[in-house]
């Protein structure tokens, strides 16, 4: 039988089949058309239009300031590029925590105005009602547990979560709650690998890890971090596959020097 990931368009059902068949899921963020086209073409299964756009695209210190309109703008470009990947968009801070009706309205705007395929939200049992209400409109929902960057001001640090027994038990309960509410997958961010393994075995829906060890059903990284465009963020879990900061800077420095030395453009580059 062909692997589930050979599907022409990845759907939430494909991801669940991948988990059942033990096929790992590759997820990566993207925030614009040009890079999303490369991410999609390279075979990534899920493109997350993460609210990390607030950090890497807008230069904010946290994910808190990004707006629904800005997320829709980023997502629209990604959707135009994605031929195969499932496109999931983060519900930004303040657009779903108030009540489940607001969560539904925000999700409908994302789906209608960007053409995305699913939304993601942070939190456990407290967002269960919102997950259920969003699903009534036929919108698939991805959960996000562990380190939840939108709550940075509550926790005060970006350190590993759920190391203690009580917090680990709460995370297990929240994961079960999100699955029962109808989430099609759950991101586990920065938690001990042993706990992520337990959660992944407990759930029938896939877990996607970031800093959560090798036993999740899939992995996600922030595109700009793994390409080495950002350099000021180096957690242990981050594998840099390129050092684009260096390459981009030296290409641009060469361009500047070619102009200053009148070496660009040449006759061949002129009309
Ligand atoms: O916003 C984001 O990029 C995320 C990932 C880190 C999972 O939520």
**Nearest Cα residue to atom 3 of ligand 1:** 50
Over the stretch 122-134, which tens digit does the pLDDT of each residue have?
Answer: 999 999 999 999 9
Domain boundaries, the chain: 12-240, 243-271
Ligand 1 centroid, distance to 52 Cα (angstroms): 6
Element (H, E) at 88: strand 86-90
Q: Which of 28, 30, 62, 189 to mutate to test the pocket of ligand 1 (most atoms within 8 A of CB)?
A: 189
pLDDT at 220: 98
Residue 176 has pLDDT above 90, yes or no: yes
179 is catalytic: no
pLDDT > 90 fraction of the chain, expressed in percent and rounded: 95
Evaluate whether 118 touches 75 at the Cβ level (below 8 Å).
no
Given the residues 69, 113, 189, 269, select the one marked as catalytic. Answer: 189
Give Cα separations from 159 to 8, 149, 152, 155, 162 (angstroms): 38, 11, 10, 9, 10
CA-closest residue to ligand 1 atom 8: 50
Q: How far apart are CA 231 and CA 64, in angstroms?
A: 21
Report how far residue 189's alpha carbon sits from residue 15's, in angstroms, rounded to the nearest whole number: 19
The pTM assigned to this predicted structure is 0.97
Ligand 1 atom with least separation from CA of 208:
7
Instruction: Extract the tokens encoding 102.
Output: 């607001």
Predicted local distance difference test score (pLDDT) of residue 7: 76
Using CB atoms within 10 A of its CB, is residue 95 exposed (0-12), middle (13-18) or buried (19+)?
Answer: buried
**Three-state secondary-structure class, residue 209:** strand
Please write the tens of the pLDDT for every residue from 23-82: 999 999 999 999 999 999 999 999 999 999 999 999 999 999 999 999 999 999 999 999
Helix axes 165-181, 193-202, angle to 10 degrees: 30
Asked whether residue 142 carries a pLDDT value surpassing 80, the answer given is: yes
Evaluate if residue 231 carries a pLDDT over 80: yes
Show the DSSP H helices in the chain as ranges. Answer: 12-20, 33-41, 53-56, 68-81, 100-114, 128-136, 152-155, 165-181, 193-202, 223-226, 244-260
Q: Is the CB of 196 under 6 A from ligand 1?
A: no
- Domain 12-240, classified CATH 3.20.20.60, yes or no: yes
Which is the closest atom of ligand 1 to the Cα of 50?
A: 1
């Amino acid at each position: 039988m062909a692997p589930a990931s050979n599907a022409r368009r990845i759907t939430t059902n494909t991801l669940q089949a991948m988990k059942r068949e033990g096929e790992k899921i590759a997820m990566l963020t993207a925030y614009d058309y040009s890079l999303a086209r490369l991410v999609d073409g390279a075979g990534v299964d899920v493109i997350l239009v993460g609210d990390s756009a607030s950090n890497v695209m807008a230069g904010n210190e946290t994910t808190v300031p990004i707006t629904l309109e800005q997320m829709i703008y980023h997502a629209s470009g990604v959707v135009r590029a994605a031929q195969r990947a499932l496109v999931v968009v983060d519900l930004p801070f303040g657009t779903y925590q108030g009540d489940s009706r607001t969560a539904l309205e925000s999700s409908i705007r994302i789906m209608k105005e960007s053409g995305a395929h699913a939304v993601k939200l942070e939190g456990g049992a407290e967002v269960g009602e919102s997950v259920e209400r969003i699903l009534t409109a036929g919108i698939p929902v991805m959960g996000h547990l562990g380190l939840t960057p939108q709550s940075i001001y509550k926790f005060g640090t970006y350190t590993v979560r759920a190391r203690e027994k009580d917090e680990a038990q709460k995370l297990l309960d929240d994961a079960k709650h999100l699955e029962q509410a109808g989430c099609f997958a759950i991101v586990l961010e920065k938690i001990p690998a042993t706990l992520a393994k337990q959660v992944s075995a407990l759930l029938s829906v896939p877990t996607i890890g970031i800093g959560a060890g090798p036993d999740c059903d899939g992995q996600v990284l922030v595109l700009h971090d793994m390409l080495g465009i950002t350099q000021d963020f180096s957690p242990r879990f981050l594998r840099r596959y390129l050092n684009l900061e260096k390459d981009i800077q030296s290409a641009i420095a060469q361009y500047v020097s070619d102009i200053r030395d009148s070496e660009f453009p040449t006759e061949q580059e002129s009309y």
